[in-house]
Structure 1
Amino acid sequence: MFTNDFHFNTEKQLNNNYDTAILPFWEQHAQSNSFNGVDDKKVHTVNIRTGNNKAILICQGRNESALKYKELAFDLNRQGYDLFLIDHRGQGLSQRLGGDKHRAHIKHFQDYMSDLHTYVESLNFNIHYQHAFLLAHSMGATISALYLEQYKHPFNACILFSPMFSLNLGMPTVLAKLITCSYSLIDRWFVKNPSYIFHGQGYHTRHFENNQLTSSELRFQLSNRIFIDHPEVQLGSPTMHWVNESIYATRQAIKHANKIDIPVLAIQAGADTIVSNIGQERFFANLTKYIDNEFMVIASAKHEILIEQDRYRIPALNKVLEFMRRIQNNESNKP
């Protein structure tokens, strides 16, 4: 059993209040914006300001958009946080880079961090907020870790859900690196559009049965509904070049984890088949600047803890709120 100490939204409530409370909250407070990122590419963002003195920036995973985080934004705003969300280049409502709207592609993984830095700088967290936190999921965790390792930043702590620090590639990483690098070079020389990964394809409707993301059918269907209601955010499989860039990025994030100068809470999904847990453990072992770091395993949870069943999602969010409150109290007690 779990306790819902912070009164987070439940699946039972979600049946009734998604359309009557969560969507109206989003429509009233979510302000869409955009800026020009690396190579002048359009990057979409959402700002939710309701007059709080604490802020959370959400750094999403691959094939996600800010629209997917409506329930989480609703929950966290009720806890007294303003929310800021970024659609990474090549996905969500940001500009596509792969030659068609479904091909999940980037030029350099570093561009993600450069875009994030531009967005964070524009928000002036140090001026407007007493505390600021970075919350990331999957690929967003890789981006967030590398960003924290490379840039001066305004965040008090970082929370990583199912962080992508090693990919579940179905083959040795060395072989995957060789294959994806070879395809990337061939694409650059001879092919108009970058190649999908093996068996990759454009957007297609996913079905709940045998999905690897969540065991909550309700939250799964609500996630799918976003792609139906907003076809402009539909995305297909990643390209070979994206995988090649991501393999290198995850290695760099692990190698330089000791440069992160704020406390980190890493939350692992015990039944994750999308990313490998090995990389998460190596990354956490390299976090050496703070003793306040925490590692939590949500046993039996699938990859997307934030849209999982209540028995997985709520204990994870309880931990996040407790972690952030502890950080805030420690900061307030400093001389």
Structure 2
Amino acid sequence: MTDQVLYSTPDNPAPENRSEGYFETYDGLHLRYGIFRSVGPAKGTVVLLQGRSEFIEKYYETIRDLTTRGLWVATFDLRGQGGSPRLLKGRQHGHVQRFSDYERDLDSFLDTVVLPDTKLPFYLLGHSTGGLIALAAAPYLATRVERMVVSAPFLGLTGQIVSELAIRRVSRLASGIGFGSSALINRTRPMHFASNPLTSDQTRFERNQGIADAYPSVKLGMPTARWLAECFRAMDRVLTAEHLSSITIPTLLIAPTRDGVVPYLAQERAARYFRAAQLVPINGARHEILQERDLYRAQAMAAIHAFIPGSDADAAEETMSLGA
């Protein structure tokens, strides 16, 4: 560990109203986290769950959007990525031993950091893999989380050279015969804006690339067979009617219609059986809606601001004000 926990670049300075550090997981890992305080009176805390290969610094812009609206933000780098420890010694592959480890890490974060150090009520905002984690954990978070937003949750896979079914079979086989820590594809070339499936905003794309270039320790390679197999198992569990009906937390499902990573139809299909969810399509947007052009990103942020803290929190605040 170094003395510097969170990083800044000239076009992406770290918010000043923050605290930062590491918290310990059930199995002894120390995951990097940041807490960002609101501008003005606090209306609650958003727990932000990142997607695969992401890192806290990538969300400074979104964090500022939320803190200026009176919300604290608490976030951490998932195990095996960003400023948290890698799980494979000497290798940069994205890896996880069990998907449930992500859920247990979220539970530890809520217990050891969020609950003692931030402001009630609590909300979840999960993107991609973070959205899948949020949906997987949601049935037992109903007494702790008021509302939840999932952005392009990882409920399927598209845009690959081979089909999702083939990737499922190969990742399951490789993981089962002892090659789970190997990546199915070793891509060493950097991603270029012109061919990226994540965002149509070149400025934000280059900003995020610049952070990783300035601080190579946050970079992550391709996912391992085990990571893929575990995520597919989690998808299958989350997408059952039994699981979706067990989620009672009011949920906003933001679905970019030109998502080149997660099929839009998978998100739309999930919403049909997810009684607590409201589907918000963002027409024309790509996968990373919070890193998209203002035309698309503004729609997603407006939906989030309308939903969090939401009418319940606003009504409670108005009641308190009248009582005073």
Amino acid at match of 1:31: S
Cross-structure match for 2:270: 283
Equivalent residue for 1:305, pick from 255, 275, 289: 289
**1:135 matched to 2:121:** no
Per-residue deviation, residues 24-51 of structure 1 (Å, max 9, x unmatched): x52x223222122142122111111246
Residue type of the alignment partner of 1:245? E
Shift, 1:309, TM fit:
0.4
Corresponding residue for 2:322? Answer: none
Partner of 1:8: none
Tell me the percent identity: 26
User: Is 1:245 matched up with 2:236?
Assistant: no
Are residues 1:184 and 2:175 paired? yes
Question: Shift in Å at residue 330 of structure 1?
Answer: 5.7
2:145 is matched with: 155
Question: Is the 8 Å Cα contact of residues 52 and 82 (structure 1) preserved in structure 2?
Answer: yes
Deviation at 1:175, TM superposition (A): 3.6
1:129 counterpart letter in structure 2: K
Q: Structure 1 stretches of 5 or more lacking a match?
A: 1-17
Q: Which residue does the alignment assign to 2:5?
A: none
Output the TM-score relative to the length of structure 1: 0.84
Q: Contact 1:72–1:306 at 8 Å: present in 2 too? A: yes
Correspondences of 1:1-335 after superposition (within 5 Å): 19=10, 23=13, 26=15, 28-50=16-38, 52-123=42-113, 125=115, 129-151=119-141, 153-168=143-158, 171-187=162-178, 194-197=181-184, 199-201=185-187, 204-255=189-240, 256-288=243-275, 290=276, 293-324=277-308, 325-329=310-314
Tell me, yes or no, if the aligned pair for 2:43 and 2:313 is still in contact at 8 Å.
Answer: no
Question: Which residues of structure 2 form unaligned runs of 5+?
Answer: 1-8, 320-324
AA aligned to 2:35 is N
User: Over aligned residue pairs, what C-alpha RMSD do you find?
Assistant: 2.4
Aligned residue for 1:295, secondary structure, equals: strand
- SS of equivalent to 1:209: helix
Change beyond 3 A, Cα 1:320–1:152? closer
Is residue 168–residue 232 contact of structure 2 (8 Å, CA) maintained in 1?
Answer: yes
Partner residue, 1:6: none
Tell me how far 1:265 sits from its aligned partner.
0.3
More displaced, 163-172 or 65-74? 163-172
Any idea what the Cα deviations from partners look like across 1:290-331, whole Å, max 9, x if unmatched? 4xx311111111100101000000011011111223342366
- TM-score for the superposition, normalised by structure 2: 0.87
C-alpha distance in 2 between matches for 1:124 and 1:35 = 11
